[in-house]
Structure 1
């Protein structure tokens, strides 16, 4: 007997296809020559981990665009191996901090002087497995290898756990986890004009001037020593072993090992598998917080754990970092503290929770994707499915916003945001 369920299913599929068409429209309208901007509202250039998530989402839909996205990003790799967090392909007049603030050029292309989590490596593996394009892999492989070597050589005190030297490098810019290390130094008088508060509503959602004074001070201190990583290791007041960055780094090492094996380089494959396991062991020991039941970041300057219950700790599953015992505790933390909201997964829960302010509470589609992917690696498909459903519900109800209120689901930040569109394509690929 037809009880209407087939019609409902067909209607749902049609709605999904319509939203996928809209997602492609967002990505195509944000696409420039060889790369995709995150959004026209606030981010008019190429951002490192944005491009990685965008390429990952495009891999099964527009693989040529996905490959071009990655190749454009990799072309901006510094000689040292640093892959910058912003590539200024076009004129940046009126944007702060623009090229003049960073003072960096790579092959006549202006870039920032900091990086972001190496999500580009998992993205390349996804593209390669989708396309089998050996030529593409050959073109990007050297840049990926140099970049991972750079992390080990220039951003680790022990060649195991890596660190960042600016909150922008974490991607989770104003996480409450950074409050204490930022408060520990005086930025002095820092003169600048912000361009990220386009309206009263956006101003209320963005990092405060207190945060920005310190962000800009860190940039200027690094520029003053010509971005020398070893000088900065001694002088920078913000050196943090970030839980999220380390999770993605470990996954990147594993994925690069798989890419090396695909090219027949068994020596490199072994090297990077061993690096991944060495890093996992060190992270399990240093960044685990039993009381919170999650992984946290570590302040190397203040020699202390930064006890914040955030999505960064949950993302450890993306790198398969938790032991079985740690995972059982982490899963309870997820269920009790973060899935208690209407929409999963808030970026932070705790005393400083703010459901509308950037990384202090809102749900982000990219971190949801990371956590869900990792949960499936631990056999927790039920929790992963819940997170994926919430991601789809948010986009289908609100549109392709930058982030979302976990209590009401309301879209926040920039609209027509590229990685929200790209990852919606990834989430509904089999619909």
Structure 2
């Protein structure tokens, strides 16, 4: 296992050797299917890119990768090469003169008298982006139809965020926008080969939690199965992406891409990223974190970092071998319980839509796959002694010891038995329930997907999962506390936040590599969904 030594401040000067290493394998293997020429700023700008990121010109490393060159990049690079050696060369001024910076909308309320529901309904228009124009030399992958962005620094569509946003859009009777977003995801599957983390070129080496099937089935709920049938081929392609390489796993413990063989009959999934090295949108920090590691350890470290980013939980004690420090990150060795529940639902959804279309053989195939995965989930992720679901470490052939709200996903998709759900409910009530809702984990590490933070998607999964098994009182209590916290911050700040401190409700949610963001798509969506289900803050 990798353990990091103390981290020093990254030097601004980087050798060409390191640049070549960290730039390797940037292009998606599916890019040849795209008619667009994808722009990769680290490759096109070369030394200029690394100088800017390591100099810390922008507090948020994502800012520069979202900038658009104001001239042909080759001309900008030529100007940089001529000017960089001069004594009075100002790198920051050079960047501001040659790049257009991204903008962030102001989503605060204009009047404290405006009620929260009206505000959230009105925010959909502010968070909606029209179909994208094609801009040369932009990292943005242009989508053909309108879509919702989360808000703040997140200026593009994000895969798993979109499901929780869609739940709110359904409450708001915006089936039109839901259809737009599903069509965009189908387009991405055709263009990139899968649904990436987001519609940026620096995201196309990884995906996010596979929520496309829940999105499609939510759309069918508010419209009809007939309207969802068109997405069946894309659901099958989504499934093929997550299962790619399964037929090459011959022995127990074999792993490749996102699949791992646990036995002759059981193959489950993990998170992965096809690229190596630091992510360009977090280059300086991740370059620094690995600066004391050997080449092999650095390669593994960045693989685990990138896999954690595909999980959406970036970052959390959930992925740390010691449950405390980033240096022990081991994401790619873990089979996440929630991811495998999502793939179970994907299998079930394909079976349902195939059956509705009269494709009986396909229906039977995916029903068997779903049945087998459910058995594996209950066998590999459940701990009888503690009465809780955990991730499974396939390298050490044992369960993780880190308790997280991911344990509620088997309840959300009705995979757990009633007895298991009862025991999970007890743990949630006794250990996770706090003044502002349920806390993500019980580990206080300073990472954003840990104690004391609460996140809207996990509140909803917990509330709905508990309700599925008759624990309505506990579910209502969680919803009430969460909604009260949302409302308190809203009426004090005029904003809905990305995450909240649910332990001390008078402090802001923290941790992570960027400040807490306002907006915020999935928080808005879940508040409206809870409200529509009869939950209140009282």
1:132 lines up with 2:224 in the alignment:
yes
Q: CA deviation at 1:157?
A: 2.5
Q: CA deviation at 1:327?
A: 2.3
Pairs within 5 Å for 1:21-420:
21-33=118-130, 34-39=146-151, 41-61=152-172, 62-77=174-189, 82-88=194-200, 99=201, 102=202, 111-132=203-224, 134=226, 136-154=227-245, 155-158=258-261, 160-165=267-272, 166-180=307-321, 238-339=332-433, 341-349=434-442, 352-353=443-444, 357-361=447-451, 362-399=453-490, 400-409=496-505, 410-412=507-509, 413-420=516-523
Q: CA deviation at 1:129?
A: 1.5
Does the C-alpha gap of structure 1 residues 405 and 338 become closer, same or farther in structure 2, counting only changes over 3 Å?
Answer: same
Q: Please give the alpha-carbon distance, in whole angstroms, between the structure 2 residues aligned to 1:178 and 1:379.
A: 31
SS in 2 for 1:45: coil
Is contact 1:51–1:70 with CA below 8 Å preserved after alignment? no
Q: Please give the alpha-carbon distance, in whole angstroms, between the structure 1 residues aligned to 2:183 and 2:238.
A: 14
Q: Please give the alpha-carbon distance, in whole angstroms, between the structure 2 residues aligned to 1:271 and 1:112.
A: 30
Q: Please give the alpha-carbon distance, in whole angstroms, between the structure 2 residues aligned to 1:364 and 1:87.
A: 23
Aligned residues: 344
Instruction: Please say which of residues 312-321 and 262-271 is displaced more in the overlay.
Output: 262-271
Q: Please give the alpha-carbon distance, in whole angstroms, between the structure 1 residues aligned to 2:206 and 2:322.
A: 18
Aligned position for 2:79: none
Q: Please give the alpha-carbon distance, in whole angstroms, between the structure 2 residues aligned to 1:252 and 1:16.
A: 43
Q: Please give the alpha-carbon distance, in whole angstroms, between the structure 1 residues aligned to 2:229 and 2:114.
A: 34
Does the C-alpha gap of structure 1 residues 133 and 238 become closer, same or farther in structure 2, counting only changes over 3 Å?
Answer: closer
> Gaps spanning 5+ residues in structure 2: where?
1-111, 131-145, 246-257, 273-306, 491-495, 510-515
Q: Deviations over 1:303-360 (max 9, x none)?
A: 4422111111122211223223322322221121112x212211001xx325x74101
Is contact 1:398–1:411 with CA below 8 Å preserved after alignment? no
Is contact 2:270–2:332 with CA below 8 Å preserved after alignment? no
Aligned position for 1:8: none
Q: Please give the alpha-carbon distance, in whole angstroms, between the structure 1 residues aligned to 2:420 and 2:225.
A: 38
Q: CA deviation at 1:402?
A: 0.8
Is contact 2:320–2:331 with CA below 8 Å preserved after alignment? no
Q: Deviations over 1:120-179 (max 9, x none)?
A: 211211111201273x42432211121123323443324542211201122112120211
Q: CA deviation at 1:68?
A: 0.6
Identify the structure with bigger relative contact order (alpha carbons < 8 Å, sequence gap 6+).
1
> Gaps spanning 5+ residues in structure 1: where?
1-14, 89-98, 103-110, 184-207, 215-235
The TM-score with structure 2 as length reference comes to 0.59
Q: Please give the alpha-carbon distance, in whole angstroms, between the structure 2 residues aligned to 1:271 and 1:56.
A: 29
Is contact 1:373–1:384 with CA below 8 Å preserved after alignment? yes
Q: CA deviation at 1:385?
A: 1.8
SS in 2 for 1:69: helix
Q: Deviations over 1:216-268 (max 9, x none)?
A: xxxxxxxxxxxxxxxxxxxx982321112122222333233333333343433
Q: CA deviation at 1:81?
A: 5.2
SS in 1 for 2:392: strand
Q: In terms of Rg, which structure is larger?
A: 2
